[in-house]
Amino acid sequence: MSPLKFCANVSWLFTELPDVSQRLRAAAAAGFQAVEAAWLYDCELRELQRARQAAGVDVVLINTPPGRLLHSCATSAAASTSLRMCFAGDLEAGDLGLGAVPGRGAEFRQGLDLAVTYAKALDCKSRIHLMAGRLPVGSTRSAVAKEMEAIFVQNLKYAADLLSKEGITGLIEPINTRITDPRYFLDSPHQAAEILEKVGKPNLKLQMDVFHWQIMDGNLTQNILKYFPIIGHIQVAQVPGRNEPDSAGELNYKYLFQTLEEHSYQGYIGCEYKPRGSTKDGLGWIKDYWT
Ligand SMILES: O=C(O)C(=O)CO
């Protein structure tokens, strides 16, 4: 059995600290050797590089940009020395990725180029989450599903060829549409597996967020075993509160982590949850996995 590797999602953890550099340092001080993040694009890249090196952590996953930006805090970040962590987009009303969105192909490709620039600069050699995006406002899933899938397959083939030149794995992540994001295009591991089959590129894998899989489908053990060969990254949070794995909820993470150990899962497990209190105080559960 190989030991599990955890990474801190600094878009969710250590949010007591406004600056990315502070969060990277805090993650390292808490014991993490690796971090992941949703979006860092409004943070000044050279500062980000310096902060990562100073903290001594690996960046193992970033997302492609969400799309329409609500505002860019690049000016404030560039102007100030601090790297205020900011979402690069109006995530409520706007976009949540562009991979499957009709008429946004050029923006998807631009966002992919930016993600590769940041991944290379941050020495994030391994993974970029290629976000699918939402159904157009006013459309119904049944009416647009076929068109959006064809667009997603085409964009993923393009992305896979570009990423393979950099040795980077692309990931697609089903996000639950029951609670978190009702208009998101990709919402089940079965749909994602079918799309990956159609794309047929070995450097594209499945990002398994246990929180979303439980809400959409349950049947976690069978789904983990069925899709294990194509799983390239995992994220965890308790259901329904999306708090720490050991918080009250539906999931027995001790059992799920044991299952992953028994199958020698070699990837990272992203801690993408809302701490109930301070991040540090909520990390008691992870000590069992840090030998
Ligand atoms: O919303 C989530 O679970 C994500 O991982 C988005 O990147």
Q: What does the pLDDT look like over 202-224, one tens digit per residue?
A: 999 999 999 999 999 999 999 99
Per the model's pLDDT, the better-predicted residue between 123 and 95 turns out to be 95
At residue 91, the pLDDT reads 57
At residue 69, the pLDDT reads 53
CA of 180, closest atom in ligand 1: 1
Does position 134 have pLDDT exceeding 90, yes or no?
A: yes
Whether residue 171 has its Cβ less than 6 Å from ligand 1: no
Whether residue 63 has its Cβ less than 6 Å from ligand 1: yes
pLDDT band of residue 73 (cuts 50, 70, 90) is very low
CA of 131, closest atom in ligand 1: 7
Output the average pLDDT for the chain.
91
At residue 88, the pLDDT reads 40
Does position 133 have pLDDT exceeding 50, yes or no?
A: yes
Output the CA torsion 206→204→115→39 (10° steps). Answer: 0
DSSP 8-class letter at 124: -
What stretches of the chain show up as alpha helix (H) in DSSP?
Answer: 20-30, 45-55, 74-79, 105-121, 141-164, 189-199, 210-216, 220-227, 253-262
pTM above 0.90, yes or no: yes
Does position 76 have pLDDT exceeding 50, yes or no?
A: no
What's the CA-to-centroid distance between 3 and ligand 1, angstroms?
24
**In the predicted model, what is the mean pLDDT of residues 48-60?**
96
Q: ipTM exceeding 0.95?
A: no
